[in-house]
Amino acid sequence: MRRMSVYPQHGTALENLGLTAHEIQQEVENNTSELVSDLSDLSAGARFQAIRSLPMSYNERKAIRNRVNNIKLSKTILPTDCRQQVSLSFRRFRASLTSARQRLVVWQDTLKEIGGRFGTSVLSYFLFLKWLLKFNVFSFVINFCFITIPQIVHAPNISHVTGFRGLELLTGVGYFNQTVLFYGGYDGEVIVSKPAYNMQLAYFFTIAAYMVLCGLSLIYSMSRSFQKNFVLETGPVSGGAWRLLCSWDFSVVNEKAIQYNKNNLGIQLKESLSERLQMKNKISLSDRIKHLSLNLVAWLLCLLLALGSGAGIYFLGTEQLTFSFNQDPNDLVSEASTLLLPVVVSLINLIVPLLYSLIGKMETYSNPRAKIYISIARNIILKMSLLGILCFYWLNFVPDKIPCWESFVGQSVYRLLIIDFIFCLLGIFFGEFLRNVIGTMCIQSLGVPEFDIARNVLDLIYAQTLAWIGIYFSPLLPVMQVLKLFIIFYLKKLSLSMNCQPPKHTGRAAQIQTVFIALLFFPSFVGALSMVAFTVWSLQPSDQCGPFQGLKTPFHTIFNWTDSIQGPPETHWVWWIFENVLRSELFYYLISLIVLVITFFLWQITQGRKQLIKSLREQIVNGGKDKAFLLNKLQNIQRQRREIASYSPQPIRRSMRGSVRTVAQEFDQTTYYNPNWINTLPMDM
Amino acid sequence: MGNKQTIFTDEQLDAYQDCTFFTRKEILRLHGRYHELAPHLVPMDYTNDPDVKVPLALIVNMPELKENPFRNRIVESFSEDGQGNLSFNDFVDMFSVLSEMAPRELKAIYAFKIYDFNVDNYICKEDLEKTLNKLTKEELTPEEVNLVCEKAIEEADLDGDNKLSFADFENMISRAPDFLSTFHIRI
């Protein structure tokens, strides 16, 4: 009975109600049959998940599973052996799929080691990196298979203007100029083969399909994460109870890390105790106004810094353009000068966040979580405004001035990514290694640097935005991103173990994870998608290079294709759908209206559920009060009866005394007070 | 299905796969780990379900549990006799619940058992004090320990009986989304 009574109410209730052993057994048997019949009604997948989640010992679960299997077998019409074999092989197949999928997981052991030494919040950074890696590998695979291989197999005559010099790796021009690395290396011909392979359509659809799949995957992850982590927060959540019972990280196995976590927990508990004492004094109005004005000033400064950097990049970019891109391939100096813009961008990305954290030190926030969110918001505004200015400049000025402008944009993105990678390496060296050396040897008060998860994740998001922007202009760019992520993974792990310590405040890591995924979707992915969509929809592609030569906009390939399939009757319906459904605005209005109506209904349901939770909570509190009241009343009655029973008045005859005593004995025997009576009350009030 | 192993019958492995969150390979690996703990005690052949229990002292020496402040309570909660002697089924059960695939409700049940030191199905103030002492050693003074535990009960106790029942505990867990990832031991 020990393991069955995990639900405290049921076990102790049965024992205390004074049932005999046989009756208890009967009760247990009834519960088990109910459970078995419930389980056999579920679908296969849900059934096994439910069996695995039963809070019983292994042997009991196995017994239930056998009973359920027998019931399922007896319900079928096929002969027993055949059905058993089929279901057995089906289950084995599903299990082998799971184990095969696990084998494909890269870095499994490394991640276990990182989680064991540094805890789950640092592990979340590495998991995020691994997730981004999946996007890039997928993009590389489909771009390579559908676009690059046909192009290489059917390669047109591209003469290389120069041989390979070392500078290409940094700048992307020269030798790489006409290769398949960039847009210019692709050709828009229809490859004559069986069946005919239209390179224009292939290019367009591959990029479009990848973007759509990416978007769907991001939306799905975002909503799953939101559902899991942003639960209704009613009541104090960042208090002592949570910290004591829910925040201890069981996955840490390293002795030093555990000691570190224990120290942190002690410090945080002390802080929260002292905060509680301080919070008794209310903040005065003038203090609040002061804090608010400081916050406003800080925000103003940050926005000005972001605007200033954006304007600086803009002027630098236009200057470089008017510098007139010298076509002489041997002019190494002017080629190297194209690296100036990426270097300045990376410097801004490095220095301005430090300034932001300095500005942040002068503000005070009542909520430490608000501080993290505001710093994330400011950094994202900076990074996205930089990227926005760059995109604006690329899409508005470059197409008129440069002959093969898509390759130029691809090369610019390539340069930005490479320089960002180099700065990341430098950052690991200077920011973490040297800082550790300084903190431990020279200026002892600085201490070992903390691993700043937010800053690192935002850097990853920035690099991924660049990669998404660059996919249209340089289909093989994901290769570089994959290599970069691989190297950064190992270097960060090394740097973490040698130089940094895990962050001290690890609360609410799951919610910050959701925020990061949401930031990856908007503004990062949405921004990249809108830029690519604008390019495809409205800009005129260059005349001399690329798959869309001669068209008015790249989107016209779709029009040409639909015109070509309008004729033959077997493909006429595709044209019909395209022309009358996808191109008509009414369709989109209807869809938007339906989605809005469904959203409104779901929101109302959520509101209703919130009300329900509130009233249920009140019921629990009232139930507790009822219990306390009844307990008190019973204790009073007991006391009164005992007093009456023990009261013996002086002038009493022998026989009366005897009878009073026997009556008192009777009372004593009948007043059976069970101190555990409270457990016998039904819990479902 | 491939490699011929003689530790378990196919039926046993199927049962393990259906009733725990592990695959066949992981079960075999777990058996290897279990055997390592007490090579002279644990047989390599489990086809006839031997009744072997590894004592508590050997299990808490595993690298995954060695430094965990709650190692004794964890092992005790999963043992049949409550003393911490685990059979192989209990061992698998323990790591199955602590794996990342176990659902929140199941983990909450066992977490409650772990924190309930006096095994009375309630987390009372003494249980909280013991938890706090295991987590912070000598960092806090006794008055501070007292204050923290009182505050914790105040916050989490919904039905007003000055101790945390399983319902209170589960309510608190439902508001802590990190719990799923922190109550997790990798093996």
* pLDDT at A62 > cutoff 60: yes
B80/A8 Cβ within 8 A = no
List pLDDT tens digits, range A637-666. 989 998 888 875 555 445 444 444 544 444
Residue A611 pLDDT class (50, 70, 90 cuts):
very high
**Long-range pairs, A235-239, Cβ under 8 A, ≥24:** A235/B155, A235/B175, A236/B155, A237/B175, A237/B176, A238/A272, A238/A369, A238/A507, A238/A508, A239/A272, A239/B151, A239/B152, A239/B155
CA distance B11 to chain A (A): 10
pLDDT higher at A14 or B6 = B6
- What is the reported pLDDT for A685? 37
Q: How far is CA A520 from CA A376, A384, A451, B181, in A?
A: 13, 11, 21, 22
- What is the reported pLDDT for A381? 93
Q: Which residue of B has its CA nearest to A513?
A: B178
CA distance A643 to chain B (A): 28
What's the rounded mean pLDDT across residues A260-284?
76
CA distance A254 to chain B (A): 7
Known binding residue B49? Answer is no
Q: Give the whole-angstrom CA distance, residue A96 versus residue A102.
A: 10
**Residues, chain B, total?**
187
Query: Which residue reads 């470059």 in tokens?
Result: A398
One-letter identity of residue A37: S
% helix / strand / coil in chain B, to the nearest 5? 50, 0, 45
**Coil vs helix vs strand at A191:** strand
Q: Give the whole-angstrom CA distance, residue A73 versus residue A500.
A: 58
Q: Give the whole-angstrom CA distance, residue A366 versus residue A349.
A: 28
ipTM of the complex: 0.89
List pLDDT tens digits, range A401-421. 777 888 888 888 988 999 999
- Angle made by CA atoms A261, A267, A272, in degrees to the nearest 5: 125
B181/A91 Cβ within 8 A = no
Residues in A closer than 8 angstroms to B115, CB to CB, are: 245
Residue A521 pLDDT class (50, 70, 90 cuts):
very high
Q: Which residue of A has its CA nearest to B168?
A: A620
What's the rounded mean pLDDT across residues A150-168?
66
- What is the reported pLDDT for A386? 92
* pLDDT at A612 > cutoff 90: yes
pLDDT higher at B81 or A86 = B81
Q: In the predicted model, what is the mean pLDDT of chain A? A: 79
Q: Give the whole-angstrom CA distance, residue A22 versus residue A24.
A: 5
List pLDDT tens digits, range A470-518. 998 888 889 989 999 999 999 998 888 887 777 776 666 777 888 899 9
Task: Express as a percent the part of chain A with pLDDT over 90.
Answer: 20
**Global confidence as pTM:** 0.78
Residues in B closer than 8 angstroms to A253, CB to CB, are: 63-64, 66-68, 185
Known binding residue B127? Answer is no
Q: How far is CA A12 from CA A72, A198, A628, A683, in A?
A: 34, 74, 19, 12
Q: Give the whole-angstrom CA distance, residue A313 versus residue A319.
A: 10
pLDDT higher at B29 or A74 = B29
**Coil vs helix vs strand at A166:** coil
Q: Give the whole-angstrom CA distance, residue A347 versus residue A437.
A: 23
Q: Please give the class, per CATH, of domain B10-98.
A: mainly alpha
- What is the reported pLDDT for A384? 92
% helix / strand / coil in chain A, to the nearest 5? 75, 0, 25
Q: Give the whole-angstrom CA distance, residue B52 versus residue B76.
A: 16
Residues in B closer than 8 angstroms to A235, CB to CB, are: 155, 175
Number of alpha carbons in the 13 Å side-chain half-sphere of residue A263: 9
Query: What residues contact A462, with CB distance under 8 A and at least 6 apart?
Result: A349, A383, A387, A420, A524
- What is the reported pLDDT for A439? 77
Per-residue pLDDT of chain B (187 residues; tens, 9 = 90+): 445 678 888 888 888 988 899 888 889 999 999 999 899 988 888 888 888 889 999 999 988 898 899 999 999 999 888 888 999 999 999 999 999 889 888 999 999 999 999 888 888 899 999 998 888 877 788 888 888 888 888 888 877 788 888 888 888 888 777 788 888 888 8
- What is the reported pLDDT for A601? 96
- What is the reported pLDDT for B24? 86
State whether residue A91 sits within 8 Å of chain B by CB.
Answer: yes
- What is the reported pLDDT for A236? 47
CA distance A623 to chain B (A): 7
Q: Give the closest residue to A508 by CA, choosing from A189, A268, A307, A332.
A: A268
Those of residues 282-341 in A touching chain B at CB distance below 8 A are none
One-letter identity of residue A21: A
Q: Give the whole-angstrom CA distance, residue A535 versus residue A420.
A: 24
Q: Give the whole-angstrom CA distance, residue A332 versus residue A328.
A: 9
* pLDDT at A330 > cutoff 80: no
Known binding residue B168? Answer is yes
Residue A337 pLDDT class (50, 70, 90 cuts):
confident
Task: Express as a percent the part of chain B with pLDDT over 70.
Answer: 98
One-letter identity of residue A153: V
Q: Pull the structure tokens for residue A142.
A: 């489909």
- What is the reported pLDDT for A167? 65
- What is the reported pLDDT for A19? 62
Cβ–Cβ under 8 Å, residues B25 and B64: no
* pLDDT at A234 > cutoff 50: no
Q: Which residue of B has its CA nearest to A99?
A: B23
List pLDDT tens digits, range A415-461. 899 999 999 998 888 877 887 888 777 776 666 777 888 889 999 99
State whether residue A92 sits within 8 Å of chain B by CB.
Answer: yes
Those of residues 493-522 in A touching chain B at CB distance below 8 A are 507-511
Query: Which residue reads 């320089």 in tokens?
Result: A419
Q: Pull the structure tokens for residue B151.
A: 């505050």
B155/A235 Cβ within 8 A = yes
Q: Give the whole-angstrom CA distance, residue B75 versus residue B53.
A: 12
- Rounded to 10 deg, the angle between the B10-19 and B24-37 helix axes is 100
Alpha helical stretches, state H, A144-186: 149-153, 168-171
Query: What residues contact A172, with CB distance under 8 A and at least 6 apart?
Result: A181, A182, A410, A411, A414, A415, A418
- What is the reported pLDDT for A183? 78
Q: Give the closest residue to A551 by CA, choosing from A156, A203, A143, A196.
A: A203
Query: Which residue reads 């039963």 in tokens?
Result: A54
List pLDDT tens digits, range A586-608. 889 999 999 999 999 999 999 99
* pLDDT at A41 > cutoff 70: yes
Ranking A42-51, A267-276, B141-150 by mean pLDDT, the lowest is A267-276
Q: Give the whole-angstrom CA distance, residue B148 versus residue B144.
A: 6
Say how far residue A456 (Cα) sits from the centre of its chain: 15
Q: Give the whole-angstrom CA distance, residue B44 versus residue A201.
A: 61
CA quadruple B165, B171, B172, B178: dihedral sign? positive
Q: A450 phi and psi, to 5 degrees?
A: -85, 150
Give me the residue spans of the domains in chain A: 14-100, 108-521+542-550, 597-680
Interface test with B, best of A3, A52, A265 (most B CBs within 10 A): A52
Q: Is the peptide bond before B50 cis (omega within 30 degrees of 0)?
A: no
* pLDDT at A274 > cutoff 80: no
pLDDT higher at A41 or A138 = A138
Residues in A closer than 8 angstroms to B149, CB to CB, are: 244
A251/B184 Cβ within 8 A = yes
Those of residues 596-625 in A touching chain B at CB distance below 8 A are 617, 620-621, 623-625
pLDDT higher at A213 or A563 = A213
Q: Pull the structure tokens for residue A157.
A: 């005559």
Q: Give the whole-angstrom CA distance, residue B64 versus residue B66.
A: 6
Query: What residues contact A389, with CB distance under 8 A and at least 6 apart?
Result: A310, A311, A313, A314, A317
A120/B182 Cβ within 8 A = yes
What's the rounded mean pLDDT across residues A659-683?
49
- What is the reported pLDDT for A214? 93
Task: Express as a percent the part of chain A with pLDDT over 70.
Answer: 79
Q: What is the CA radius of gyration of chain B?
A: 19
- What is the reported pLDDT for A482? 93
CA quadruple A648, A653, A658, A660: dihedral sign? negative
Query: What residues contact B111, with CB distance under 8 A and at least 6 apart?
Result: A245, B169, B173, B179, B183
Residue A88 pLDDT class (50, 70, 90 cuts):
confident
State whether residue B143 sits within 8 Å of chain A by CB.
Answer: no
Q: Pull the structure tokens for residue A379.
A: 């950094």
Residue A25 pLDDT class (50, 70, 90 cuts):
confident
Q: Give the whole-angstrom CA distance, residue A159 versus residue A175.
A: 10
Out of B70, B106, B156, the one facing A55 most closely (by C-beta) is B106
| Cα maximum dimension of chain A | 132
Say how far residue B112 (Cα) sits from the centre of its chain: 10
Outline which parts of chain B fall under CATH 1.10.238.10: 10-98, 104-182
B110/A58 Cβ within 8 A = no
Cβ–Cβ under 8 Å, residues A3 and A60: yes
List pLDDT tens digits, range A531-544. 999 998 888 888 87
CATH number of B104-182: 1.10.238.10
